């Protein structure tokens, strides 16, 4: 009987978490749309440029999100310690993630450069850095 209750509770929690994911994804997409509008207005892009920028910026964000998801680690429980092998793997993963991010930023810099000036692209990268810092805290 107790096992049945535990299984039922686990299933309910899984269903609840699964139901929340589309809302989070939708919120993320809305945030990106807001950023596209913000940059399009701030940079005074014409309609064609705004369309090109929006498509490019969404692809850039999608690729960056995929990189972060690929290298996401489970948080270590409070008081728990990692083995040397786990620590080494995290360090190596951090190197790989940093390389992937750098490659992506460089690739999209060249694409953004077709639409934006270097100072405008720098503003996007600086804003991105500020958002990451806020998320960390």
pLDDT at 18: 47
Does the residue 47 lie in any domain?
yes
Does the residue 70 lie in any domain?
yes
Q: How confident is the model at residue 19 (pLDDT cuts 50, 70, 90)?
A: very low
pLDDT at 112: 97
Average pLDDT over residues 13-23: 52
Does the residue 50 lie in any domain?
yes
Does the residue 124 lie in any domain?
yes
Does the residue 18 lie in any domain?
no
Determine how many CB atoms are found less than 10 A away from the CB of residue 78: 5
Q: How confident is the model at residue 2 (pLDDT cuts 50, 70, 90)?
A: low
Q: What is the total count of domains within the chain?
A: 1
pLDDT at 78: 73
pLDDT at 28: 82
Share above pLDDT 90 across residues of the chain, in percent, rounded to a whole number: 65
| Each residue's pLDDT tens digit, 38-81 | 999 999 999 999 999 999 999 999 999 999 999 887 777 777 88
Average pLDDT over residues 28-41: 92
Range of the domain at 31: 27-74+81-136
Alpha carbon separation from 49 to 46, 71, 104, 126 (Å, rounded): 5, 33, 21, 21
Does the residue 113 lie in any domain?
yes
Among 66-70, 105-109, 126-130, 132-136, the range scoring the smallest mean pLDDT is 132-136
């Amino acid at each position: 009987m107790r096992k049945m209750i535990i299984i039922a509770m686990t299933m309910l929690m899984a269903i609840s978490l699964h139901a929340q994911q589309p809302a989070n994804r939708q919120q993320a997409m809305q945030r990106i749309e807001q950023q596209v509008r913000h940059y399009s207005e701030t940079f005074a892009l014409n309609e064609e440029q705004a369309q090109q920028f929006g498509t490019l910026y969404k692809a850039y964000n999608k690729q960056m999100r995929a990189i972060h998801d690929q290298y996401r680690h489970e948080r270590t429980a409070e008081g728990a310690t990692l083995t040397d092998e786990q620590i080494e793997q995290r360090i190596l993963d951090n190197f790989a993630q940093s390389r992937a991010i750098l490659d992506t930023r460089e690739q999209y810099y060249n694409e953004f450069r077709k639409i934006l000036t270097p100072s405008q692209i720098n503003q996007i990268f600086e804003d991105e850095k500020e958002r990451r810092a806020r998320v960390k805290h």
